[in-house]
C-alpha cells in the first residue's frame, strides 16, 4: 500500500497547481529530506544524497515551479536509491 508521501507525490505529479507550502513540506519530509529554516529562504537537503537540494520561499501559496522541481528531485532520489540498492 502506498505511503502518504507516495500518494502525495502522485497527486502532485498529476497536478502542479494550488498546493500549499505545508503540502510540499510533507512531501519532502515523507522522503526523508530535511528542511532547515535559513536567512531569506528555507533549504531542503537529503542527508544521504547531499547533491539533492532545493530552496523554498516562505509564502503559504506556492508557485507551481516549486512543485515541478520537487517531483523531479524525488524522482532523482528514487533513481539514486535504486542504484545504491542494486
CB of 2 vs another protein, minimal distance in Å: 26
The number of residues that bind another protein (CB under 8 A) is 19
Q: Is 55 in the site for another protein (CB under 8 A)?
A: yes
Which residue is listed with cell 510540499?
24
Report the distance separating Cα 12 and Cα 23, nearest Å.
10
CB of 65 vs another protein, minimal distance in Å: 3
At 50 the three-state DSSP class reads coil
Q: Which of 5, 42, 49, 76 binds another protein (CB under 8 A)?
A: 42
Q: Nearest to residue 50, comparing CAs of 37, 67, 32, 68?
A: 32
Q: Is 17 in the site for another protein (CB under 8 A)?
A: no
| DSSP H or E segment with residue 55 | strand 53-56
Q: Is 69 in the site for another protein (CB under 8 A)?
A: yes
Q: What is the contact surface with another protein in residues (CB under 8 A)?
A: 36-43, 50-51, 53-55, 63-66, 68-69
Amino acid at each position: 500500500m502506498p505511503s502518504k508521501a507516495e500518494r502525495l507525490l502522485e497527486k502532485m505529479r498529476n497536478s502542479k497547481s494550488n498546493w500549499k507550502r505545508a503540502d510540499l513540506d510533507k512531501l519532502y519530509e515523507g522522503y526523508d529530506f530535511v528542511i532547515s529554516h535559513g536567512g531569506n529562504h528555507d533549504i531542503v537537503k537529503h542527508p544521504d544524497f547531499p547533491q539533492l537540494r532545493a530552496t523554498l520561499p516562505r509564502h503559504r501559496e506556492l508557485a507551481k515551479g516549486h512543485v515541478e522541481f520537487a517531483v523531479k528531485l524525488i524522482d532523482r532520489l528514487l533513481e539514486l536509491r535504486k542504484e545504491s540498492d542494486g
